[in-house]
């Protein structure tokens, strides 16, 4: 199994890509902690993992809270003894042009997507150092690489921040054998994109811009995250893994 003996924490793991990663990680031998605001959904993922013979834990976590992160990491280490892998996956989207964005809108998205990633990384590093190293995977977006008219400036800014924060942390902690990489998904069929996919016009417009001609599935991204979590990627740090059906290659 590709994650045998590892302990992983996944933020925003109650649904969407985070849930797919939690289930895949557990199938590959990891003990998994899920941190999310959505308790019912998170506990269901934990049950699914337990029913399949794996070990998992749900922790209620708001990723914008530093003390929340400290409690979440402590609960994970208390239950499973260490922390090897962190996936900073929790995120929220937004729409609108610069002139329409309020300071509150800006702060809300930057707080969850960018500050949440910083706080998760900060909380995980001491435990990973104790474990002799680790792998942190930060979920950015294809919109962290290029601009696009239909998203929002604060979403782009937050995901661009995740991209470059990843490289700074990768360089700072390479000597501790803590690897930090970012993942850049394109449009993926999750609850986050449900409204857009339900509207035939928006769906057609989106799919016509994806060279592979479809939305990605959560598992398409989870396989990439699994690779970065495993020792198979042991010479990768500060890298960007783009999983976008060719969207940014155009």
Residues carrying an active site annotation: 155
Q: How far is CA 138 from CA 24, 158, 235, in A?
A: 17, 12, 17
Say how far apart CA 166 and CA 121 lie, in whole Å: 9
**Residue closer to ligand NAP, measured from CB, 6 or 15:** 15
Say how far apart CA 45 and CA 43 lie, in whole Å: 5
Give the Cβ contact number of residue 238 at 10 Å: 16
Say how far apart CA 41 and CA 37 lie, in whole Å: 9
Q: At its nearest, how many Å lie between ligand NAP and the CB of residue 241? A: 12
Half-sphere exposure of 248 (CA within 13 A, CB side): 17
Site for ligand NAP (CB under 6 A): how many residues?
Answer: 29
Please pick, from the candidates 89, 152, 154, 182, the single residue that binds ligand NAP as defined by CB under 6 A.
89
Q: Is 35:10 a contact under the CB 8 Å cutoff?
A: yes
Say how far apart CA 173 and CA 125 lie, in whole Å: 8
Contacts 24+ apart (CB under 8 A), 68-72: 69/119, 69/120, 69/122, 69/123, 70/123, 72/9, 72/33, 72/35, 72/123
**Residue closer to ligand NAP, measured from CB, 95 or 231:** 95
Site for ligand NAP in 198-237 (CB under 6 A): none
**Residue closer to ligand NAP, measured from CB, 16 or 224:** 16
Residue 62 touching ligand NAP (CB under 6 A): yes
Please pick, from the candidates 74, 79, 92, 146, the single residue that binds ligand NAP as defined by CB under 6 A.
92
Site for ligand NAP in 137-196 (CB under 6 A): 139, 141, 185, 187-188, 190-193
**Residue closer to ligand NAP, measured from CB, 131 or 185:** 185
Q: At its nearest, how many Å lie between ligand NAP and the CB of residue 186? A: 6
Q: At its nearest, how many Å lie between ligand NAP and the CB of residue 52? A: 21
Which spans of this chain sit near ligand NAP (rule: CB under 6 A)?
A: 11-12, 14-18, 36-38, 61-64, 89-93, 112, 139, 141, 185, 187-188, 190-193
């Amino acid at each position: 199994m590709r994650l045998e003996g590892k302990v992983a924490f996944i933020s925003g793991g109650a649904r969407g890509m985070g849930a797919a990663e939690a289930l895949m990680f557990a199938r590959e031998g990891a003990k998994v902690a899920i941190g999310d605001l959505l308790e019912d959904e998170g506990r269901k993922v934990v049950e699914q993992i337990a029913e399949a013979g794996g070990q998992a834990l749900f922790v209620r976590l708001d990723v914008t809270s530093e003390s929340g992160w400290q409690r979440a990491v402590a609960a994970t280490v208390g239950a499973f003894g260490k922390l090897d892998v962190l996936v900073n996956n929790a995120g929220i989207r937004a729409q609108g042009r610069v002139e329409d964005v309020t300071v509150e809108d800006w702060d809300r998205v930057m707080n969850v997507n960018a500050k949440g990633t910083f706080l998760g990384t900060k909380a995980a590093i001491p435990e990973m150092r104790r474990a002799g190293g680790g792998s942190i995977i930060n979920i950015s977006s294809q919109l962290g690489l290029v601009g696009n008219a239909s998203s929002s400036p604060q979403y782009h800014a937050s995901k661009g921040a995740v991209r470059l924060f990843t490289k700074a942390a990768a360089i700072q902690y390479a000597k501790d054998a803590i690897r930090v990489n970012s993942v850049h998904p394109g449009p993926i069929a999750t609850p986050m994109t449900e409204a857009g996919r339900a509207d035939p016009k928006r769906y057609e417009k989106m799919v016509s811009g994806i060279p592979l001609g479809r939305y990605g599935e959560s598992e398409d991204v989870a396989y990439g995250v699994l690779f970065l979590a495993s020792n198979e990627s042991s010479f990768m740090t500060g890298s960007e893994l783009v999983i976008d059906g060719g969207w940014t290659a155009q």
